[in-house]
Amino acid sequence: MIKSTRIGGDVPNNKFFVKSPKAGLRLLGATVLMSLYALPSWAFTIDDVAKQAQQLAAKGYEAPKSNVPSQFREMKFADYQQIRFNHDKAYWHDQPTPFKLEFYHQGMYFDLPVKINEVTATTVSEIKYSSDLFNFGSVNHDPEAVKNLGFAGFKILYPINQADKSDEIVSMLGASYFRVIGKGQVYGLSARGLAIDTALASGEEFPRFREFWIERPQANDKHLVMYALLDSPRATGAYRFVIYPGRDTSIDVQARVYLRDKVGKLGLAPLTSMFLFGKNQPATTMNFRPELHDSNGLSIHAGNGEWLWRPLNNPRHLAVSQFQVENPRGFGLLQRGRSFEDFEDLDDRYDLRPSGWVEPRGDWGKGHVELVEIPTNDETNDNIVAFWTPEKLPEIGKPFDIAYRMHFSRDEDKIHSPELGYVKQTLRSAGDVKQSNLVRQPDGTSAFQMDFIGPALKALDEHTPITSQISVGDNAEVVENNVRYNPVTHGWRLTLRLRVKDEKQPTEMRAALVNGETTLTETWSYLLPANE
């Protein structure tokens, strides 16, 4: 909007007076003024989406209806993979921008159409589905049956690895799930718009993005802006995403959520990942891969400056952990220890999967970070969820605003503060005692070795009198507590051996390294699952 300043008294008849030092008052015609006001002032914002979200929240939920033929709904994953978008028809391929859009076809459990719009400087127009955009491979189908379907989702392409090659950097597919990668990364953990009643006996509700608006980028834009409308039986929401691709792709998220009805648990900025086995929980069956996970720990940077690290488990029973934090500075599911030798997997390249880090914008107040660990026997099942839950839930029908930045990175050491050491790895084994004949004899204890590393520890002399501060729950007694310098990592290794009193109960442990009154490391927090 153009603002005018009145100069020299009243302005009669919609005419604009401009003061000139040479010619006094010069009269400009009304046509000039009208042309100024005729300049386009329209812009699409999150408020436009929020109006729709608020209207949806004020009325009853209407469940979406699938329009997919049974052949496509019942197809196996291998068949669904046969349906590929024709790269030559990528959206914006004829525009002077490095960004491109490709789309997912409906099939399997992706059986609901998603409306996708393009936003320009003056208009909003729907990107129309056409079966001609897809190659169906060996999938035999009736062309008429898919003639009037819709898109299941979309992907964003940008040249992050080579200047002349478009790489997939964002995938929006399924409910409110999306996955993001940066340079040299492959897809791993997922993010979500919202989580409702995760791990409650009543069952989880999965909100979905039902409509998107994507701004057409300019030629020199290094970021992409898009909006999404979220809907579910008990919540609606408006989202704005600003995507910055690069070595570490980041996304600024702004959300305005409305509740339709009461919820038991509201999960904000949720991350979803997979942990099958690792060094702290070795595989129960022989496997050539030493570790198999998208993430191996939850990291939290609390409002008071404390850093916490919780290694992940694949428990025998559902496990829910809550970490009370006021005004968190960050949290995320990380992949610490990512050399190829940690995984030895040439196909799935778990060593190249990114960590996901959530950096809150503004004060989030009181609440907790929640970690949900679900038993699984299959690496295709995402069994790890982490999110923020506010202590006070929003009122029904009232807007709840939240903003944060998400980072997807392989540089985990840059996520952590250089002023404190952090846990490189957690090793777990059956405890034993070295006998006089040098033979190690198992003694029924559980043993953990934690390697603490980082610039702050590396700078210390190896003879620094470092000790540990530890605590265990009532279900265990400490048998050994030993700290020694590790010349390989230039850090320190803490050995903790304990005897569990009741193996049918979980055991909580915490540990950190100190030098006198000075805390040197993050806090290692571990839940030894019940063994039953």
Q: What is the C-alpha separation between 344 and 253, in angstroms, rounded?
A: 35
Asked if 260 and 239 count as a contact pair (C-beta separation under 8 A), the reply is no
| 70-79, 151-160, 238-247, 332-341: least confidently modelled range | 70-79
- The whole-number pLDDT of residue 41 equals 53
Q: Identity (one letter) of the amino acid at 140?
A: N
- The whole-number pLDDT of residue 532 equals 57
Q: What is the C-alpha separation between 52 and 55, in angstroms, rounded?
A: 5
The string over 327-336, giving b where at least 16 C-beta atoms fall within 10 Å of a residue's C-beta and e elsewhere, is ebbbbbbbbb
202 DSSP assignment: T
pLDDT of residue 157 exceeding 60, the answer is yes
Mean pLDDT of the chain: 91
Q: What percent of the chain is predicted at pLDDT more than 70?
A: 92
Q: Give mean pLDDT, residues 279-287.
A: 93
- The whole-number pLDDT of residue 431 equals 85
Same fold: 44-185+201-263 with 422-528: no
Phi, psi of 376 (to 5 degrees): -155, 150
pLDDT of residue 163 exceeding 60, the answer is yes
Per-residue pLDDT band at 7 (split at 50, 70, 90)? very low
- The whole-number pLDDT of residue 145 equals 86
Q: Give mean pLDDT, residues 216-224.
A: 95
Q: Identity (one letter) of the amino acid at 171?
A: S
> Phi-psi bin for 87: left (phi > 0), alpha (psi -120 to 50), beta?
alpha
- The whole-number pLDDT of residue 148 equals 87
Name residue, tokens 């002399």. Answer: 461
Q: What is the C-alpha separation between 290 and 335, in angstroms, rounded?
A: 14
Q: Does domain 44-185+201-263 have CATH number 3.40.50.720?
A: no
Residues 463-509 have pLDDT tens digits of 999 999 999 989 999 999 999 999 999 999 999 999 999 988 999 99
Q: What is the C-alpha separation between 390 and 367, in angstroms, rounded?
A: 4
pTM metric for this prediction: 0.89
- The whole-number pLDDT of residue 53 equals 98
Q: Give mean pLDDT, residues 228-248.
A: 98
Residues 114-143 have pLDDT tens digits of 999 999 999 999 999 999 999 999 998 888
- The whole-number pLDDT of residue 11 equals 33
Q: Per DSSP, what are the bridge partners of residue 273?
A: 384
What six digits make up the tokens of 527?
């839940």
Asked if 56 and 259 count as a contact pair (C-beta separation under 8 A), the reply is no
Q: How many CA atoms lie within 13 A of 258 on its CB side?
A: 22
- For the chain, which residues make up each domain, given as ranges? 1-39, 44-185+201-263, 265-392, 422-528
pLDDT of residue 10 exceeding 50, the answer is no
Residues 21-53 have pLDDT tens digits of 343 434 334 444 444 444 445 689 999 999 999
- The whole-number pLDDT of residue 13 equals 37
Q: Per DSSP, what are the bridge partners of residue 448?
A: 428, 496
Q: Give mean pLDDT, residues 3-14.
A: 34
Q: Identity (one letter) of the amino acid at 72?
A: F
- The whole-number pLDDT of residue 35 equals 43
What six digits make up the tokens of 516?
């006198």
Q: Which of 333, 406, 334 is nearest to 180 (CA)?
A: 406
Name residue, tokens 């979500």. Answer: 192
103 DSSP assignment: E
CA 267 to chain centre: 12
CATH of domain 422-528: 2.60.40.10
Asked if 66 and 73 count as a contact pair (C-beta separation under 8 A), the reply is yes
Other Cβ atoms within 10 Å of 86 Cβ, number = 11
What six digits make up the tokens of 507?
């055991």
> What does each C-alpha distance from 111 to 34, 73, 75, 424, 425 come to in angstroms?
50, 6, 11, 42, 41
Q: Give mean pLDDT, residues 412-440.
A: 89
pLDDT of residue 309 exceeding 80, the answer is yes
pLDDT of residue 514 exceeding 70, the answer is yes
Asked if 523 and 306 count as a contact pair (C-beta separation under 8 A), the reply is yes
| 176-185, 229-238, 419-428, 497-506: least confidently modelled range | 497-506
CA 170 to chain centre: 12
CA 145 to chain centre: 36
Per-residue pLDDT band at 4 (split at 50, 70, 90)? very low
- The whole-number pLDDT of residue 433 equals 83
pLDDT of residue 90 exceeding 60, the answer is yes
The string over 434-447, giving b where at least 16 C-beta atoms fall within 10 Å of a residue's C-beta and e elsewhere, is eeeeeeeeeeebbb
Q: Give mean pLDDT, residues 239-262.
A: 98
